[in-house]
Amino acid sequence: MYKNKPKKGISTIIAAIFMVAIIIVGLNLMTWGLNLQNNFGQVLTEKNVSEAERVDEKIELRDVKIDSDKFNMTVVNTGTLPVKLVTMWVTNTTDTNGWHKNYALNELINPGDSLTKLGTQLALTAKNSSSYKINLVTERGSSANFQILSPKDKAIKMSLFAVPRSMPTGQNVTILFGVTNNLTDGSIVQSITPKVPLNWTKTETASGTIAATATLIEGPIPVTERSLTLGENIFFKWVYKISGDVGDKIKFNATIADAKQGNYVTEEIQLVVDTFSEQSITSLESLGIAGASPDTTGTLHFHGEAAPNLPPNHYRLESVFADTSSGFSNVFDTAGESYIWLTNNGTDIVNIAAGPWNYTIVGNKKPGGPAGTATIEVKLQMADKLGNAIGSPLNIWTLSTSSTTETKYNSTSFNLGSIQLNSTHARLKVTVTWIAGQFDMKWDKTSWDSVLRTPTQTPSIPTYLVYSGGDLAVFVRNTGPNTMWLDENTRVVFKKVTTGALYAGIIKKWENTTSTAQGNINSDNDSDGLEKDRFLRFIFSEPRTAPTTSATGTSVTTDKGTYDVMVRLSGYDSAANVVLRIITVGAVVV
């Protein structure tokens, strides 16, 4: 019979097993801890990247209108990253209940691009008479807040000018009603529509025999402006014929529909002794300020200067001859690559007659490029004031070439009906887009130029204007029927868009644009005769707070910004009638 004896060494084995188990558990804990730390660091890094990207997201609400009870908004990505809109919160701040709603979005906006018609597809009813707060939320979690105001909720800046402010009976007066968004909180004011008819009251002399009256000839032009962002303004124009006795006064009162109570402006005119038989019927127009020479043939030139306040690759299309000796060029060779040219906005309505249009595009296939043809698409459209296309294209031209020699390619003429540029359809837009190969396009060079030719423009489409100081040259054309002369009472007026600050310059001399002929304009000398269809360059002193030909008074160059520029033309015509005209030069950047 055997007895169990203790086995030597078993405790050592058990101890070793426990030690191994402890080491394994320790290693697992260490690995878990390291993974946890790594994951935490990764999350922290991703969070920092996300925060940085949120900071780089920048969007702006550039335009708002309400069509058929639906928001129609334009949002621009002004940042450096693509932005995806996922939610829109809307608060009605006018409604007594103050309703607050959110709507799902799925809209991607690349840097420099714009999203149009935001809100048109949402189940949301919007009214011009209400004010709203809009909060747009992106996929990264950043948000942008905007306020859209009805004019009835806040007073905005208004101004009213009568030109001239004194006149003989039976003459016309131009009434200019300016509305400016001067709200410092960044609100967008919607639905700017002048209240019609324009109200006026009369003060008659006791001995008068003719009733003081103001008879509407035309206006308002334009009829409405859908919205104004901070600093933007709009001028509405009326023309009235004024009748009455010497000394009679007529006061005009202007405001906008649904304006806040007490938000209006007045301007008074007075009848004086009639020293002229009647006002001239001669018609005049501005062709812009000095720079390159204006092209009066209805030809719009592709320019290399950027169109102001628009994204990259948006350039000027204007009736000014090429003004650089080196020119500009681009090789179109990438899918989606496009350049855009836009005409400038103006305050006057421009009518383009029905008739033939055509292009000239200068370029060639790039030498050494891929085999086959180089092809671009040239597309003509109408656009709003922000450059967003409206409606279907007016024309599309596909240009292909296999030649590596620089050539002027002329399109086949295409006929269009009459076209009107106004506050809604504000611009012509030409987009050149890559299709195939490598097309080397050139423009804005004095020896060759790419252009778009249009039928007759009435008046001419306004040019882009920049002023840097010194004597100011303004081109003026007489569209007929009578020859006219300008005198020393002619002035140029700068009115700052954001503040309303005023500066004026005095006419100094005239210059011929086709020869060296010129002459002073003063108390002893008037301008050269301006016959029908002729244009002259008129030189004004630097605009100042106190207009003078000497360097006194504060110059407009000390107050940089965007200005509305007008010229008050004073003179007489070949029928011995007075010439008193206000012509709009357009927006000028100082």
With beta carbons less than 8 A apart as the criterion, state whether 282 and 571 touch. Answer: no
With beta carbons less than 8 A apart as the criterion, state whether 248 and 84 touch. Answer: no
Distance CA 20, CA 349 (A): 91
Q: Which of 345, 368, 282, 356 is nearest to 570 (CA)?
A: 282
Where are the alpha helices (H) located in 455-496, listed in sequence order? none
246, part of any domain: yes
Q: What single letter denotes the amino acid at residue 329?
A: S
The β-bridge relationship of strands 314-318 and 338-342 is parallel
Distance CA 290, CA 108 (A): 42
185, part of any domain: yes
Q: Which of 186, 192, 80, 180 is nearest to 134 (CA)?
A: 186
- pLDDT tier, 327 (very low <50, low <70, confident <90, very high otherwise): confident
Span of 294-298, 302-306, 395-399 with lowest mean pLDDT = 294-298
pLDDT of residue 473: 83
With beta carbons less than 8 A apart as the criterion, state whether 472 and 492 touch. Answer: yes
Q: Residues 510, 513, 516, CA angle at the centre, nearest 5°? A: 75
Distance CA 453, CA 298 (A): 6
The DSSP H or E segment spanning 86 is strand 83-92
Task: Say if residue 356 is in the same domain as residue 376.
Answer: yes
Question: Token match 């592709």: residue?
Answer: 302
What does the DSSP 8-state code read for residue 464? P
DSSP string, 432-455: EEEEES-EEEEESBTTB--EEE-S
Task: Say if residue 399 is in the same domain as residue 495.
Answer: no
Task: Say if residue 261 is in the same domain as residue 287.
Answer: no
Residue range 332-372, pLDDT digits in tens: 999 889 999 999 876 668 899 999 999 999 999 999 888 88
pLDDT of residue 290: 52
Q: Which of 444, 358, 443 is nearest to 397 (CA)?
A: 358
Q: Which of 527, 525, 518, 512 is nearest to 567 (CA)?
A: 527
Q: What is the 3-state secondary structure (H, E, C) of 526-561?
A: CCCCECCCCEEEEEECCCECCCCCCCCCCEHHHCCC
Q: What percent of the chain has pLDDT over 70?
A: 88
With beta carbons less than 8 A apart as the criterion, state whether 365 and 437 touch. Answer: yes
Task: Say if residue 324 is in the same domain as residue 383.
Answer: yes
Backbone φ, ψ for residue 360 (5° rounding):
-125, 120
Q: Which of 299, 277, 555, 521 is nearest to 430 (CA)?
A: 299
Structure tokens at 137: 């939320």
Task: Say if residue 287 is in the same domain as residue 350.
Answer: no
More confident residue, 287 or 220: 220
Structure tokens at 312: 């990259």
Indicate whether 289 pLDDT > 60: no
Q: Which of 393, 329, 399, 323 is nearest to 360 (CA)?
A: 399
The β-bridge relationship of strands 535-540 and 578-589 is unpaired
More confident residue, 462 or 529: 529
Domain residues for the domain of 351 are: 295-458
* CA dihedral of 541, 547, 551, 557, whole degrees rounded to 10: -70
Structure tokens at 81: 């990253």
| Residue 426 CB-density burial (10 A; 0-12 exposed, 13-18 middle, 19+ buried) | buried
pTM of the model: 0.51
Report the CATH number that the domain containing residue 71 is assigned in CATH.
Answer: 2.60.40.10
Chain Cα centroid distance, residue 461: 14
Average pLDDT over residues 221-243: 85
pLDDT of residue 313: 82
> Taking the alpha carbons of 13, 18, 19, 21 in that order, is the dihedral positive or negative?
positive
Task: Say if residue 316 is in the same domain as residue 445.
Answer: yes
> Which residue, of 105, 123, 149, is where some domain finishes?
149
Task: Say if residue 141 is in the same domain as residue 160.
Answer: no
Distance CA 308, CA 316 (A): 9
Task: Say if residue 352 is in the same domain as residue 235.
Answer: no
Distance CA 426, CA 381 (A): 11
pLDDT of residue 278: 44
Give the range with max mean pLDDT: 25-29, 119-123, 221-225, 330-334.
330-334
pLDDT of residue 274: 45
Report the CATH number that the domain containing residue 506 is assigned in CATH.
Answer: 2.60.40
Residue range 19-28, pLDDT digits in tens: 777 777 777 7
Round the average pLDDT of the chain to a whole number and report it.
82
Indicate whether 158 pLDDT > 50: yes
200, part of any domain: yes
The DSSP H or E segment spanning 36 is helix 10-56
Residue range 8-65, pLDDT digits in tens: 567 777 777 777 777 777 777 777 776 766 666 665 555 554 555 666 788 887 777 7
- pLDDT tier, 117 (very low <50, low <70, confident <90, very high otherwise): confident
List Cα–Cα distances, 426 to 184, 222, 230, 326, 565, in angstroms. 27, 11, 19, 31, 18
More confident residue, 423 or 239: 239
Task: Say if residue 306 is in the same domain as residue 434.
Answer: yes
63, part of any domain: yes
Task: Say if residue 110 is in the same domain as residue 169.
Answer: no
**Secondary structure E strands in 249-354:** 249-254, 265-271, 283-289, 299-306, 314-318, 328-332, 338-342, 350-352
Distance CA 7, CA 541 (A): 119
Chain Cα centroid distance, residue 434: 26
Write down how long the chain is. 590
Q: Which of 62, 65, 63, 70 is nearest to 122 (CA)?
A: 70
13, part of any domain: no
> Which residue, of 411, 428, 458, is where some domain finishes?
458
Q: What single letter denotes the amino acid at residue 423?
A: S
Sheet containing 213-221, strands listed edge to edge, beginning at the edge strand earlier in sequence:
157-163, 171-180, 233-243, 213-221
What does the DSSP 8-state code read for residue 206? T
> Which residue, of 423, 458, 493, is where some domain finishes?
458
Total domains, the chain: 4
Span of 56-65, 220-229, 485-494 with lowest mean pLDDT = 56-65
Report the CATH number that the domain containing residue 405 is assigned in CATH.
Answer: 2.60.120.260
